[in-house]
Structure 1
Amino acid sequence: MKRIALIFSLLVAPLVADEAQRIKCGNLVYGKGQTSVCFADAFLKDAARETGIDIDPSFSRIALAKPELFKTPMCVFTGEGDFQLTPEERKNLKRYLENGGFIMASPGCSDADWNRAFQREISAALPEYKFAALPMDHELFSTVHKITEVRTYSKSVKLQGLQINGRLALLYSPEGLNDVRNASGCCCCGGSEIQQSRQVNVNALVYALLH
């Protein structure tokens, strides 16, 4: 993993050198103040330990409509229930993804209302881009951990990707990507959570830093 840290220092660090030295991962606040209430941040420590990259072990709350969005290389977009983005939030979302930002999105506890709202809002903000199933030979599945299958407790599933300018810019799972065993404040007892969520999240963060 020292090689990943070296590549990062050569290719990515200059882009964030004027910020605090530590990489921050955003937890998006959007709509009418909606955000994650319990998305586990344990993968941030994992990514730092396994790559040698200086990553903040806690999320930073980042409003989708604010300029702070553009100071972080990756954001988690999650929550529960229906929501609607403002025009400024849609504009920022599109600009962020088209200019190198990366978003990892999934509903809290596999919430169906959130899933429907998310798909609707992405279509409104980025109508020219379409989700496609991410093949298991995609680089994201081997960036740090080698992942050969993505499963809930009952079935094998496919993650969805939005490609922009030849780069995976948005990773989306209709099933929850929350590492519920390390989450605080929810259990997702009725949800269909991804078993490999912690490894997927580590890989997604490191992929975002390297692309």
Structure 2
Amino acid sequence: ETAGLAASTKTRELAASDPNLFNYPIAYMHGRHKFEWTRAERERLQQYLQNGGVLFADACCSAAPFDKSFREAIAGLFPDKPLTRIPVTHELFSTKVGHALSQVRRRGADQTSGQGVINNAAIRSEPILEGIEVDGRYVVIYSKYDLSCALERQSAIACEGYVSEDATKLAVNIILYAMLQELK
């Protein structure tokens, strides 16, 4: 409301090959497990991204199988453009888009107690998001650190990712960034 954008909170599950994908400025995916896109999904997703869409994804609890699959899938879509870290100076992390996010808190398993106890330590750092930039805009925005569980206010000790408050701010900025792009 404060951004002056009309938005619906209704969600709809879509396959990457769904022709209705083009009706949405942002597509979100998350997961824990290995996956592969079909040829039709790859082709449709590539068209979607080239025509103004944004793919926002995160690995639930920093799940390595999903992270590996996502990186391979994106490399298949953009073989000449590797995922690279989005600089903290980018507008995505600024009040130009939403919240000022030069520093955020991330949950991390701290096993240094020496007593076999895992502590849920909050690490303060710059946000770590990676992306693929095409024609001056990010078409893929990815977090290897969990956002989705934090958005549901789940913070298991073994779930490495952003704390709920900062995950929400990051998600808001990513959604606003995507909505401010022009769909072709």
Q: TM-score scaled to structure 1, two decimals?
A: 0.71
Deviations along 1:6-43, one digit per CA (max 9) or x if unpaired, are xxxxxxxxxxxxxxxxxxxxxxxxxxxxxxxxxxxxxx
Whether contact under 8 Å (1:98, 1:165) holds in the other structure is no
- The count of corresponding residues between Structure 1 and Structure 2 is 161
Aligned to 2:105: 151
Aligned to 1:75: 27
Partner Cα separation in structure 2 for residue 106 and residue 188 of structure 1: 16
Tell me which of 159, 166, 169 is aligned to 1:199: 169
Judging by fraction of residues, say which structure has more strand: 2
Aligned residue runs from structure 1 range 9-158, under 5 A: 49-142=1-94, 143-154=97-108, 155=123, 156=125, 158=128
RMSD: 1.8
1:204 positional shift: 0.9
1:151 positional shift: 3.4
| Moved >3 Å (runs of 4+) | 186-189
Query: 1:208 and 2:178 equivalent?
Result: yes
Aligned to 2:133: 163
What residue ranges of structure 1 are gaps of 5+ in the alignment? 1-48
Tell me which of 125, 142, 150 is aligned to 1:172: 142
Larger radius of gyration, structure 1 or 2? Answer: 2
Aligned to 1:18: none
**Fraction of identical pairs, as percent:** 29
Partner Cα separation in structure 2 for residue 150 and residue 189 of structure 1: 18
What residue ranges of structure 2 are gaps of 5+ in the alignment? 109-122
Q: Secondary structure at the match of 1:63?
A: coil
1:147 positional shift: 0.7
Whether contact under 8 Å (2:86, 2:129) holds in the other structure is yes
Q: Secondary structure at the match of 2:128?
A: coil
Q: TM-score scaled to structure 2, two decimals?
A: 0.80
Partner Cα separation in structure 1 for residue 12 and residue 5 of structure 2: 17
1:58 positional shift: 3.0
Judging by fraction of residues, say which structure has more helix: 1
1:189 positional shift: 4.1
